[in-house]
Structure 1
């Protein structure tokens, strides 16, 4: 039977970041809808992983959990080896683990910058490298990299996050062309706002990297950042809804290079990358993230100093 026609229920799927949010939702959707599917679930939190695994097992999936820190390349490589040892191979890799390091670029310490790229880019890349030969030997496979609308559009205070996702998208485009001869298909999923722990983690990351936001020139934008989840909640998708888009990328005979998972996402990307002038787009995001308020504060400070 052609690799393309093997039922998903007979395949091995490795999901990173599977303890919560999109990764957990995807594991549960797959277990519910594809009886007998084999899942390898990876994340740092073993307790949460076990909870997700128990749910999936009860739904009829065969599940293996591998606690993994995606910033540690040796752990990532061990994850791939463990999956192959248990199931004989991996048919589908979903690189979902990731987070957003928010804040003005000049204030993010080097260590936090490095970790952003380790988790969002270098870890997934290491896993891909390990599994390409395995998939090739099995006659093909699929690699799905979870990016973001922020992987196509850069936002103030999200420069490091967007940079890591831009890089992941470039990597995916190159892999899609390189791996086609081996029947390994590569797709990118681009969610918009999602009702997950993303904003909580991002907020915690700001506090860990910027000791006193109020004592910086960006204080007004930091205040706006605190309201970001509330301001985007009306457009946010559930993790389960995003998971359904990922499932579509796994079941389409000819998967698309990119799937947006956001309300009017394709239209937004088209308008902001192809139609509207860059200066207009810049002003929109500056206002949305409070950079216009930063400008007002700065002008007031300079005016007071000159008196």
Structure 2
């Protein structure tokens, strides 16, 4: 099936990425679903799976060449949706620095590698858009998700620079900033917390054990309390195809509330509110 516009979505196998693929395809857009495992992409006449690990610059270039060859003469790449990402957590005092490097490699460096590889195709469109899945954690860093929050702060800064650099060519750049999203990631969050806890020394458990227990409860509640991934996907569609896209999309009431409170409240008041929300004291 031929359509005039196409998008590439990274991290498309589950959760937000899969919802994005479904939303674009439902709107008649050709989608290249970039995943590490091609078998995770459902068959659809408008969806083409593409093998891509965002931490490999070579795979990004190879994927761009495959997409270029697949587009044909009647379709142009309208959007790059950088959605792939991971979340590393735990107390920063005891964080394995290699884990911090892994967090930044996937959530920041990998996003730029994909963008660099696909930008030449995007320029051919004339109305290209780049979208990054960030988070309200890029505005407000909650305790024990320091590596993740750092990556999202960095991603926001990179997107802001890129937006201003590409403006002369009419290429837009947006970030999506949801708070809690109900995705399968929460199904294994408890196991991830267990893994972090297992690597911590006794002193870390002595200092942070109660907080880690609280985080386990919070992650369990998030499985049902978050907004549906389709809401983020709808924001992505708007960012790629709206006549006037926003620079930032605060997706959901929780994200908007957190952003407003972090802007308006003195930091001591806001810190106290965050601690009460997370730990009840």
Instruction: Using structure 2 for the length normalisation, give the TM-score.
Output: 0.89
Partner of 1:199: 186
1:236–1:26 Cα change, 3 Å: same
1:105–1:77 Cα change, 3 Å: farther
* Deviation, structure 1 residue 102: 1.3
User: Is it true that 1:240 corresponds to 2:234 in the alignment?
Assistant: no
1:193-272, aligned counterparts within 5 Å?
193-211=180-198, 215=202, 216=205, 217-232=207-222, 235-272=225-262
1:110-189, aligned counterparts within 5 Å?
110-189=97-176
Distance in structure 2 (CA, Å) of the matches to 1:121 and 1:158: 16
- Deviation string, structure 1 residues 244-285 (Cα, Å, up to 9, x no partner): 122122221010101111224323312212x11101111222
User: Equivalent residue of 2:24, what SS?
Assistant: helix
Distance in structure 2 (CA, Å) of the matches to 1:186 and 1:127: 14
Greater CA drift, 132-141 or 110-119: 132-141
Distance in structure 1 (CA, Å) of the matches to 2:22 and 2:39: 16
| Partners of 2:189 and 2:219 within 8 A in 1 | no
- Deviation string, structure 1 residues 112-160 (Cα, Å, up to 9, x no partner): 1111111111111011112223322332400010001111110100111
Q: Return 5+ residue gaps in structure 2 as ranges.
A: none
Q: Size of the alignment, in residue pairs?
A: 274
User: Equivalent residue of 1:227, what SS?
Assistant: helix
User: Is it true that 1:73 corresponds to 2:57 in the alignment?
Assistant: yes
User: Equivalent residue of 2:64, what SS?
Assistant: helix
Distance in structure 1 (CA, Å) of the matches to 2:21 and 2:195: 31
* Deviation, structure 1 residue 66: 1.6
Equivalent in 6, 27, 43 of residue 12 of structure 1: 6
1:207–1:111 Cα change, 3 Å: farther
Instruction: Using structure 1 for the length normalisation, give the TM-score.
Output: 0.82
* Deviation, structure 1 residue 163: 0.5
Equivalent in 252, 269, 276 of residue 280 of structure 1: 269
Distance in structure 2 (CA, Å) of the matches to 1:133 and 1:239: 30
Greater CA drift, 88-97 or 146-155: 88-97
Max Rg structure: 1
Partner of 1:23: 17
1:15–1:101 Cα change, 3 Å: same
- Deviation string, structure 1 residues 3-25 (Cα, Å, up to 9, x no partner): xxxxx952110000101111111
* Deviation, structure 1 residue 202: 4.2
User: Equivalent residue of 2:8, what SS?
Assistant: strand
* Deviation, structure 1 residue 205: 3.6
Distance in structure 2 (CA, Å) of the matches to 1:208 and 1:84: 41
| Partners of 1:175 and 1:186 within 8 A in 2 | yes
User: Equivalent residue of 1:42, what SS?
Assistant: strand
Q: Return 5+ residue gaps in structure 1 as ranges.
A: 1-7, 293-307
